[in-house]
Amino acid sequence: MRDKTKIGIIICDRYRMCAGGKCLRALKNREGSFSIYKDKEVELVGFTTCGSCPGGNIEYTPEEMKKNGVQVIHLATGLVVGYPPCPRITYFRDFIKARYDIEVIIGTHPMPQKYYNTHMILKTWESPKWKEIIQPTLADEKTRLLYD
């Protein structure tokens, strides 16, 4: 039997109407940040927004997810590729780890090519911090085009 991991996804509230299609497709295909589950069964036990700036749900949502058995929380790719990217993303990651002792991964699906192109023009991700943050969702151009 393969290992099973229970995960939660927190998306940016700007995308609160998102149906989660890209995240769920990437989870099914084990793409983007979900590639780490290549040889594991995964159960999605929570999906919600951050609660709008400055992230009010970040304080409470992980507790509910933990009660549902969550082992890993993914901060959705929208927090990375939105305009502007979430300036609190690393704070959210660090807070959830410290307060709830839950592993946190930044990213879900591979970033869409259209966002990649715009952020390259804007030079959004030139700092070492952002270069590290985008790595799990970067993918190759062919894959990024599939997520446009």
pLDDT exceeds 70 at position 31: yes
In this prediction, residue 35 carries a pLDDT of 96
* pLDDT tens digits, 113-127: 999 999 999 999 999
In this prediction, residue 2 carries a pLDDT of 59
The two tokens of residue 68 are 């549902």
Give this prediction's pTM: 0.94
In this prediction, residue 143 carries a pLDDT of 95
| CA dihedral angle for residue 53, residue 144, residue 103, residue 7, rounded to 10 degrees | 90
Q: For residues 85-100, give the mean pLDDT.
A: 97
Confidence of residue 74 (pLDDT cuts 50, 70, 90): very high
* pLDDT tens digits, 16-26: 899 899 999 99
Confidence of residue 1 (pLDDT cuts 50, 70, 90): very low
CA dihedral (5, 10, 15, 18) positive or negative: positive
Domains of the chain: 4-146 (3.40.50)
Output the average pLDDT for the chain. Answer: 95
Confidence of residue 40 (pLDDT cuts 50, 70, 90): very high
In this prediction, residue 116 carries a pLDDT of 97
Reduced to 3 states (helix: H, G, I; strand: E, B; else coil), residue 67 is: helix
In this prediction, residue 7 carries a pLDDT of 98
Instruction: Give Cβ neighbours of residue 94 (< 8 Å, ≥ 6 apart).
Output: none
CA–CA separation, 21 and 24 (whole Å): 5
Which amino acid makes up residue 56? G
pLDDT exceeds 70 at position 95: yes
